[in-house]
Chain A
C-alpha cells in the first residue's frame, strides 16, 4: 500500500511550534511531527499524553507483592530456618524487596516502552526525511484520496505561510510496516 504525506520542513523549533498552532487554527489535522530533539510545546499542541508512569507504578506494586510473597514463602513456609535469632519473616527482607522492585519495574517499563513505541532491533522503517534526525523539523499531514486539488493547495499554502522552508510530497510504501 502506498501512502502520501504532505511534509513541511522547518529550520527551527520555535518556528515549528508556531506553525503547528497556525495550521491547527485553520482546521488542518497535523498527523505527526518529527524532530531531532524532544519539544514539550509540540506534545501540548498535539495533545499527546502517555500513561507510562501509571504502568510503572503498577509494575512497582506487582514487584513489591511478588518479592514479599517469594521471601515469605521460602523463609516461612517452604523451609523455615532461623538466622541469628531473627524472626522467620524478617524486617531485613525490605532490602531485597526494595532492590528487586526496582529490577522488576525497570525491566517491565522497558518492555512496555518498546511495545508501545513499536521499537524493536532491526525494525524496518520508512524515513520520511532523513534530515529530521539531524537538523530539520517536520510537520506531516496525511494526503487522503478524497482531498481535492484545492484542499491540497490550501494545505501547502498554509505550511508555506507558517514559515516552512520547503513543502514536499513524500510517497511511501507502507505495506510491511
Chain B
C-alpha cells in the first residue's frame, strides 16, 4: 500500500468533511440578507414587465411585435436561441466534465445545472409565444385527432425542436434533482429547525447513504450523464437545423450544427463564469471557487473562442469560394458592411477577439477582468444570434422583398421578463437549495488515494 498525490488542491483551507457541510449549508440557515430582497424585487419588476408584454402579445397578437412578412423571426427567435445556448452550460459542465473525470467541476456543476433548467424554461416560452395563437400550441404535439388523424410533420426541424427541448428540459432537471438528493439528506440530518427537517426530509426521498444506495446513485448518475451527453450535441444541432434546412442565404450551410453547438457551450461557459464570480464574491466561497477554477474555465473559453473565430472565417471564406452571389451578398454587403455592420463587428469583437486576452496569465488571474470579459461573451453571443436571424431575412433574393426590422417595446418586454425569471429562479436556488454538491466536494477533498 502506498499513497500518492493524484491531483492539485481543489478545495482550499484544509477543510474537514464537517466544515464543508457547514460552509455550504450556512446560507440556507442564515437570515435572508437584504440584498436578496432587493435583487428579488428587481427581478419581480422585470417579470411584471414580461407579463404585460406576454399579455399584449396574446390579447392583441403578433402584430405588436416588430416582425413583418420578410423578417418573420425577430427577438423571439434570437432570445430563444440565446437562452438555449446558456442552457447548455449545466449539462456541458456536469456531463462532459463528469465523463472526462474533471474533478474541478464539483463546486460549479450544481449552479450550472440550476442555470440550465431555468434558462431552458425561459427559452421554451419564445417559440410558444411566436406561434401567435398560444391556445393552439398543443397542435404541435402528435396526438390522436379527428382530422384523419393527420399527424404533425415528423420531417420538420420545428417539430424536432419541440421533442429535443422537452427532452432536454426533462433530462437536465432529472440530473439536477438526482444530484441534490444526498445533499437534502445532509441538510435533513444537520438542521436544527423542525420545519426545514420536514421539508428537506420530504425532498430527500428517504436517502440514508448506505453503500448499496451510493452504488446505485453512482450508476444512475453515470447512466443519465451518458444518455444526456449526446443530447447536448443533438439539441443545438436541431436548433441550427431550424435555420440550415431552409434555403436562405447565410443559413443554408453545413457548418451550422457544429457552429451552433460550440457557440452554445461558449455562451453557457460565459454565463457560468459571470454567475460563479458573483457567487464567490457574495457568499465568500473563495475556498471552493478558487483561482484555478476560473483559470480552467478561462482556458476552455480561449479554446472555444478560437473555434468560433474559425467558424466565422469559414463562413466568410465559403461565401467567397462557393461563388454563390447571394451568399457573398449576405456576408459581405449585409453583415461585414451595410446596415447591420455594428452587430457583426460586435459579435466578432466580443466572441473572437476579446476572449483571446485569456492567453495572458495575469488577465486570467484578475477576477474582475475575467468577469468583464464574461459579460462581453454573453453580449457577443446575443449579437451572433441577432446577426444570423435578422441579416439573412432582411435582404434575401428579391430586392422587392427586402425589409428592415427593429424590435418593439413588447418584444423587449418579453426579453426583460425572461431575464427576470432567470434571475429570480437563480436567487431562489441560492436561497433554498444547496448551491454546491456537498457530497461531491467531500469526494474530492483527499489529495491522496490508495
Contact = CB atoms under 8 A, between A and B. Distances in A.
A175 to B, nearest CB: 16
Interface string A117-131: 111111111011011
A90 B245 CA distance: 15
A109 B220 contact: yes
A121 B205 contact: yes
B202 interface: yes
B150 interface: yes
B148 A79 contact: yes
A71 to B, nearest CB: 6
B227 A50 contact: no
B189 A133 contact: yes
Contact of A114 (B159, B205, B230): B205
A124 B188 CA distance: 12
Interface in B225-241: 227-228, 230-231, 234, 238
B6 interface: no
Contacts of A86: 155
A48 B149 contact: no
A100 B217 contact: no
B202 A121 contact: yes
Interface stretch (B264-272, B296-304, B442-450): B442-450
Contact of B215 (A48, A75, A95, A96): A48
A106 B174 contact: yes
Q: Is the interface of B mostly helix, strand, loop or mixed?
A: helix
B261 interface: no
B338 interface: no
Interface residues of B, number: 63
B219 A53 contact: yes
Contacts of B190: 130, 133-134
Contacts of A92: 154-155
Nearest to A103: B167
Nearest to B445: A37
Interface string A94-109: 0110111011011101
A131 B174 CA distance: 27
A123 B201 CA distance: 8
B223 A123 contact: no
A161 interface: no
Contact of B439 (A13, A36, A52, A109): A36
Nearest to B22: A134
A119 B205 contact: yes
A133 B155 contact: no
A78 interface: yes
Q: Which of B156, B201, B205, B230 has the most CB of A within 10 A?
A: B205
A106 B227 contact: yes
Contacts, number: 188
Interface stretch (B206-214, B355-363, B404-412): B206-214
B224 A121 contact: no
Given A43-B211, A52-B223, A131-B189, A75 B154 contact: yes
B87 to A, nearest CB: 16
B218 A74 contact: no
A19 to B, nearest CB: 13
Interface string B403-445: 0000000000000000000000000000000000001101100
B234 A36 contact: no
Interface in B136-150: 142, 148-150
B305 interface: no
A102 B219 contact: no
Interface in A65-86: 71, 74-75, 78-79, 81, 83-84, 86
B182 A133 contact: yes
A50 B219 contact: yes
Interface of B: 16-18, 21, 142, 148-151, 153-156, 159-160, 163-164, 166-167, 170-171, 174, 178, 181-182, 185-186, 188-190, 201-203, 205-220, 223-224, 227-228, 230-231, 234, 238, 439-440, 442-443, 446, 450
17 contacts: A35-B209, A37-B17, A38-B443, A39-B211, A39-B214, A50-B219, A53-B219, A83-B155, A90-B155, A93-B155, A95-B234, A102-B171, A106-B174, A110-B178, A121-B203, A122-B206, A132-B209
Interface of A: 13-14, 17, 32-39, 41-43, 46, 48-50, 52-53, 56, 71, 74-75, 78-79, 81, 83-84, 86, 90, 92-93, 95-96, 98-100, 102-103, 105-107, 109-110, 113-114, 116-125, 127-128, 130-135
Which 10 residue pairs across A and B have the least CB separation, nearest first? A123-B206, A135-B17, A130-B189, A119-B205, A38-B214, A135-B18, A33-B211, A103-B167, A113-B220, A52-B219
Given A119-B206, A121-B203, 6 more contacts: A38-B443, A79-B149, A79-B151, A93-B154, A93-B155, A121-B202
